[in-house]
């Protein structure tokens, strides 16, 4: 409930709110509908203003008003059940994962393709099209269909009889890519838009060698553990490198350049897997013996910290706004809350060994 102006109200669904908003919580949930009916009526703000005419009313004033429970229960019954919590915005936790009922259909479809799930998402037919390991390669790799073709199939399944080329063109235009093909949008535009949409905390990582005709893959960050990164390097990227070697021997145009770019990407990803500075993960609030060794991220530490090795290595499709500046305040020992520090594997392993002996 807003504490200023007309005292506008809404049902609370878990969002953050500032100090100009108050929350009314019923002692008995059975009375919620009656309280909701009263608070959204004209009677409630009038009753509050009769007590306090100031622009900004206090929390306590909001519940000092008279309340006829029996009357408002009847009003609530006539009004029907409370509205169900709902959002078609994929940045909200109560979004249910339906591309066709979304403000960002293509972004949601890509997320579904690589196996991302929203908390309230119900099991349904699109699940069987999700990649089991959370990786979708953009070119044909290891016998898998390219990501754009798989995404097209998912969209066709989602939209059913409504699906058409005209609809796809409309979705691409809505995503800020008029005139582009689905392949071009995935390759050139998707990741930057994804970073903007999710406030520079991307959970789909577009990893690639920087060439339009080179190797790249969309990866579900929530699944990207040490094993999956190893699969990306040695199975998928390894298969691509082998293909480029064969084509280079056959003197296929561009194969030599693609091979060099892929091998450089492999080198960078192996450095991330190893985790030596500057490709290590550092978590400010964890003691030395609990720091990740190599690529073993803890999702609870957050994308800001875990994505640092990939940004440092330059293996993401596009740059985005993120930093590792020091946090405000001080540590318990009065030291600065620094985030951009680097620790060697040897230092971390020695600290763990000391911890075990202790």
pLDDT at residue 96 in the model: 95
pLDDT at residue 84 in the model: 85
pLDDT at residue 53 in the model: 87
pLDDT at residue 18 in the model: 87
Question: Is 281 within 8 Å of 309 (Cβ atoms)?
Answer: yes
Q: What is the pLDDT of residues 82-108, one digit of tens each?
A: 988 889 999 998 899 999 999 999 999
Count of CB atoms situated within 10 Å of the CB of 340:
12
pLDDT at residue 17 in the model: 87
Residue with tokens 């490198």: 241
Q: Taking 90 as the threshold, does the pLDDT of residue 223 lie above it?
A: yes
Structural domain count, the chain: 2
Q: Is residue 250 assigned to a domain? A: no
Q: Is residue 326 assigned to a domain? A: yes
d(CA 275, CA 292): 9
pLDDT-derived band of residue 319, with 50, 70 and 90 as boundaries? confident
Answer with the one of 29, 57, 85 that is the final residue of a domain: 85
For residue 278, cis peptide bond before it (omega within 30 degrees of 0): yes
**Measured CA distances, 87 to 90, 115, 127 (Å):** 8, 20, 20
Q: Is residue 128 assigned to a domain? A: no
pLDDT at residue 237 in the model: 98
pLDDT at residue 26 in the model: 93
Percent residues over pLDDT 70 in the chain = 100
Q: Is residue 261 assigned to a domain? A: no
pLDDT at residue 355 in the model: 83
pLDDT at residue 356 in the model: 82
Q: Is residue 65 assigned to a domain? A: yes
pLDDT at residue 169 in the model: 98
pLDDT at residue 15 in the model: 79
pLDDT-derived band of residue 19, with 50, 70 and 90 as boundaries? confident
- Structural domain boundaries enclosing 343: 288-357
Q: What is the pLDDT of residues 28-51, one digit of tens each?
A: 999 999 999 999 999 999 999 999
Q: Is residue 346 assigned to a domain? A: yes
Answer with the one of 34, 52, 85 that is the final residue of a domain: 85
Answer with the one of 54, 85, 116 that is the final residue of a domain: 85
Q: Is residue 121 assigned to a domain? A: no
Mean pLDDT of the chain: 95
pTM: 0.88
Q: What is the pLDDT of residues 257-281, one digit of tens each?
A: 999 999 999 999 999 999 999 999 9
Q: Taking 90 as the threshold, does the pLDDT of residue 320 lie above it?
A: no
Closest to 185 (Cα-Cα) out of 161, 209, 218: 218
Q: Which sign, positive or negative, has the C-alpha torsion 130, 133, 138, 142?
A: negative
pLDDT at residue 317 in the model: 96
Which of 166-170, 306-310, 330-334 has the lowest average pLDDT? 330-334
pLDDT at residue 14 in the model: 78
The average pLDDT across 307-334 equals 92
d(CA 36, CA 94): 21
d(CA 62, CA 51): 9
Q: Taking 80 as the threshold, does the pLDDT of residue 358 lie above it?
A: no
Q: Is residue 165 assigned to a domain? A: no
């Amino acid at each position: 409930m807003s504490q200023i102006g007309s005292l506008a109200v809404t049902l609370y669904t878990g969002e953050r709110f500032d100090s100009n908003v108050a929350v009314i919580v019923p002692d008995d949930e059975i009375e919620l509908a009656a309280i909701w009916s009263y608070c959204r009526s004209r009677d409630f703000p009038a009753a509050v203003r009769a007590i306090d005419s100031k622009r900004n009313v206090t929390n306590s004033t909001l519940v000092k008003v008279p309340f006829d429970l029996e009357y408002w229960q009847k009003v609530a019954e006539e009004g029907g059940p409370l509205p169900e919590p709902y959002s078609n915005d994929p940045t909200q936790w109560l979004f249910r994962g339906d591309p066709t009922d979304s403000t960002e259909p293509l972004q949601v479809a890509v997320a579904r393709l690589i196996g991302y799930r929203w908390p309230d998402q119900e099991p349904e037919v699109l699940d069987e099209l999700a990649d089991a390991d959370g990786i979708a390669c953009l070119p044909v790799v290891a016998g898998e269909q390219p990501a754009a073709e798989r995404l097209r199939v998912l969209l066709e399944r989602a939209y059913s009889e409504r699906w058409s080329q005209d609809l796809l063109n409309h979705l691409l235009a809505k995503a800020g890519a008029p005139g582009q093909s689905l392949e071009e949008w995935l390759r050139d535009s998707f990741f930057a838009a994804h970073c903007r949409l999710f406030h520079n905390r991307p959970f789909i990582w577009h990893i690639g060698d920087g060439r339009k005709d080179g190797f790249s893959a969309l990866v579900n960050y929530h699944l990207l553990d040490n094993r999956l990164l190893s699969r990306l390097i040695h199975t998928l990227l390894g298969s691509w490198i082998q293909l480029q070697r064969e084509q280079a021997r056959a003197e296929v145009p561009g194969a030599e350049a693609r091979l060099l770019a892929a091998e450089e990407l492999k080198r960078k990803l192996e450095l991330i897997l190893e985790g030596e500075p500057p490709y290590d993960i550092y978590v400010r609030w964890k003691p030395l013996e609990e720091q990740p060794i190599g690529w073993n991220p803890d999702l609870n530490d957050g994308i800001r910290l875990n994505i640092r090795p990939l940004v440092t290595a330059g293996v993401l499709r596009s740059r985005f706004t993120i930093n590792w500046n020091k946090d405000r305040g001080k540590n318990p020992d009065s030291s600065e809350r620094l985030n951009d520090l680097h620790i060697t594997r040897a230092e971390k392993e020695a600290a763990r060994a000391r911890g075990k002996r202790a």
